[in-house]
Structure 1
Amino acid sequence: MFEGIEFLNKAFFWLFLTLPIAVLWYVLKHKKQTAQLKMSSLKGFSTSGSILPKLRHLLFALRLVALACIIVALARPRTVDVSTKTKKTRGIDIVMAIDVSASMLAKDLKPNRLEALKEVASEFIKGRPNDRIGIVEYAGEAYTKTPITSDKNIVLRSLNDIKYNTIIEGGTAIGMGLATAVNRLKDSKAKSKIIILLTDGVNNSGTINPKIASELAIEFGIKTYTIGLGSNGMALSPIALRPNGQFQYGRVQVEIDEVLLKEIAQVTGGKYFRATNNKKLEQIYDEINKLEKTEIEEFKYYNYQEKFRFFVYIAGLLLLLEFILRYTVFRSFI
């Protein structure tokens, strides 16, 4: 009955404590008003089969229910209809530049660097519902996997489809990856433009110098967060390709050009991170998520509908019914 109803003056519910007191008062008063006469026999009196004398207590019950309705009305019940309107500001455009070279299959992160990245990056994407995101793949060369889009399902599918392949030229072209990401963002009208550049190696191929790509990012107002992915020391990495097409793994020294990555982040206004394990990688994306927030304005509109009148009407009808019965049907018994 009260589902979806709130009470503005809940303190009036304390008045319900008066109802048991009223019942006790009625019982005591009724006993005092009932006279007793002792007789040896009732054979000389004819008895009536009417149940009206027994029903006279109905009058008090009607008054009691009327009082309960008045208390509920005083508590001021009302329904609240809340409508929400969200005003989105121009969000953040983000391009994730992901290294897909063979070294990303190293097993120092579980199950390997690439799969660990995909898992963490997917959660990052899901946590940015109001931003547009794109994906750039690079190894010895770079290309756009997904242009910036607000359709997160497309971005997530593209991320999930990223695998090492021999179509892209081998190597690590950090400059090419960064420049391609800049190209996707240079015409963006977003209030903030971000590149998250991830690599596990050193720049050893490509036709664009990373420093030139950094200057392009600065020119177009694009902030770059760089992530060096890989444990310290040796890592179990692909070292050769077997005749059956599978990689042969061996212990390889992890080499990440942290000086370059720090410089790219610094000059573009971003930050450099080093992810040595799955947990650290997750923390890095969480930190980037906190650093880059999209402002959203939310307006709530409240529509109140007062419901106390219903209980006032019920109380009035009950009191009227009690009055009519008291001076008609039960007049002879009161």
Structure 2
Amino acid sequence: MLESIQFLNKEFFWLLLLLPIAIVWYVLKHSKQTAELKISSIKGFKSSSSFWSNFRHLLFALRLIALALLITALARPRTVDVSTKTKTTSGIDIVMAIDVSASMLAKDLRPNRLDALKEVAADFIDGRPNDRIGLVEYAGEAYTKTPITSDKSIVKRSLRDINYNSIIEGGTAIGMGLATSVNRLKDSRAKSKVIILLTDGVNNSGFIDPKIASELAVEYGIKVYTIGLGTNGMALSPIGFNPNGSFRYGRMQVEIDEALLKEIALETGGKYFRATNNDKLAQIYEEINKLEKTEVEETKYYNYDEKYRPLVLLAGLLLLIELVLRNTIFRSFV
């Protein structure tokens, strides 16, 4: 309760320093006002202590407490209730086009390229609460994994389900992946439309030229960020199958068509990135997250409840009690 109270005029608390000064003044004044009688013996007097005489200090205590309450009231104690209303003024529709070819199982990223991407992409999705996001998978062909939706739980569940499978035709059809993503966004009414296209290879499959797909993106006002995934040099990649059906790995040269990815990004107003390790991949998604900001209008409402009135009333009551006692019970002593 006390933690929620704030004081508007805290400088008035300096007046509390007057209280110890008042106490010292009262003690000194009281000692000087005490009458003295010098006699040779007090055997003839009955020794007794007067309760009312000692209790008269209550008047000063009441006045002191009242003063402390008035100083606290001057500091304007109050509680504040803050309510926030958030309105998204311009949302962004985002499609993440993910290469799921066999080469995405290469182990130059931990534990492999595809799993590293899924982990980073999940964090990216969590950081876009006001946007709609969709997923497109592509290898030798492309299809929509999840249409653009504001339900992040659906998107993240679909992202977790992305794995290499032999059902999709082998190869890397960058043009198909980009065109499918454009198709998902072309009817969007969002003020900003973005595709994040990730691949670890070169365009060697599909029937749509990547340049044609990028021209479609430009026509529909879609910005494309491209990411080349893979270390420089050689990487431990799948090169065949073992008798038990598992992949056989070997060292292979990493080949990424960076010229094509740079051209797509430049033509559509996006940016090209190269991710050679897990940390770099995470940094890339953080940078894209900063580049594509959603405008959010936040309105805060403050409801103040002033607490000084009860303090003033209590101080007034104490002063009234002191006045009544001073002029009745303690009239002969003060």
TM-score w.r.t. the length of structure 1 is: 0.97
Q: Distance in 1 between matches of 2:291 and 2:122?
A: 18
Q: What is the deviation of 1:44?
A: 2.9
Q: What is the deviation of 1:47?
A: 4.8
Q: What is the deviation of 1:159?
A: 0.9
**1:95 equivalent in alignment to 2:120:** no
The one-letter code matched in structure 2 to 1:224 is V
Q: What is the deviation of 1:43?
A: 4.0
In the TM superposition, 1:1-334 aligns within 5 A as 2-47=2-47, 50-334=50-334
Q: What is the deviation of 1:41?
A: 4.2
Q: What is the deviation of 1:217?
A: 0.7
Give unmatched runs, 5+ long, in structure 2: none
Moved more, 49-58 or 167-176: 49-58
- Whether the 8 Å contact between 2:85 and 2:300 is mirrored in structure 1 is yes
Q: What is the deviation of 1:53?
A: 1.1
Aligned to 2:90, what secondary structure does the other structure show? coil
Q: What is the deviation of 1:5?
A: 1.7
Q: Distance in 1 between matches of 2:39 and 2:118?
A: 99
Q: What is the deviation of 1:85?
A: 1.1
Equivalent pairs counted in the alignment come to 334
Q: What is the deviation of 1:38?
A: 3.7
Q: Distance in 1 between matches of 2:221 and 2:268?
A: 8
- Whether the 8 Å contact between 2:172 and 2:204 is mirrored in structure 1 is yes
Percent identity of the aligned residues? 78
Q: Distance in 2 between matches of 1:232 and 1:4?
A: 56
Once the two structures are superposed, what CA deviation does each residue of 1:181-227 show, in whole Å capped at 9, x if it has no partner? 11111110101000000000011111211111111111111100000
Q: Distance in 1 between matches of 2:216 and 2:175?
A: 11
Q: Distance in 2 between matches of 1:245 and 1:161?
A: 21
Q: Distance in 2 between matches of 1:47 and 1:331?
A: 23
Q: Distance in 1 between matches of 2:185 and 2:325?
A: 83
Q: Distance in 2 between matches of 1:125 and 1:98?
A: 14
Q: What is the deviation of 1:260?
A: 0.9
The one-letter code matched in structure 1 to 2:44 is G
Q: Distance in 1 between matches of 2:297 and 2:208?
A: 41
Q: Distance in 1 between matches of 2:161 and 2:51?
A: 84
Once the two structures are superposed, what CA deviation does each residue of 1:111-143 show, in whole Å capped at 9, x if it has no partner? 110111111111111111111111100111111
Q: Distance in 2 between matches of 1:87 and 1:278?
A: 35
RMSD (CA atoms): 1.3
Q: What is the deviation of 1:49?
A: 5.9
Rate the CA distance shift 1:231–1:3 in 2: closer, same or farther, 3 A. Answer: closer
Q: What is the deviation of 1:277?
A: 0.9
The one-letter code matched in structure 2 to 1:92 is I
Q: Distance in 2 between matches of 1:30 and 1:50?
A: 16
Q: Distance in 2 between matches of 1:43 and 1:51?
A: 22
Q: What is the deviation of 1:237?
A: 0.2
- Whether the 8 Å contact between 2:134 and 2:146 is mirrored in structure 1 is yes
The one-letter code matched in structure 1 to 2:186 is K
The one-letter code matched in structure 1 to 2:151 is D
Q: What is the deviation of 1:75?
A: 0.9
Q: Distance in 2 between matches of 1:151 and 1:51?
A: 77
Q: What is the deviation of 1:15?
A: 0.2
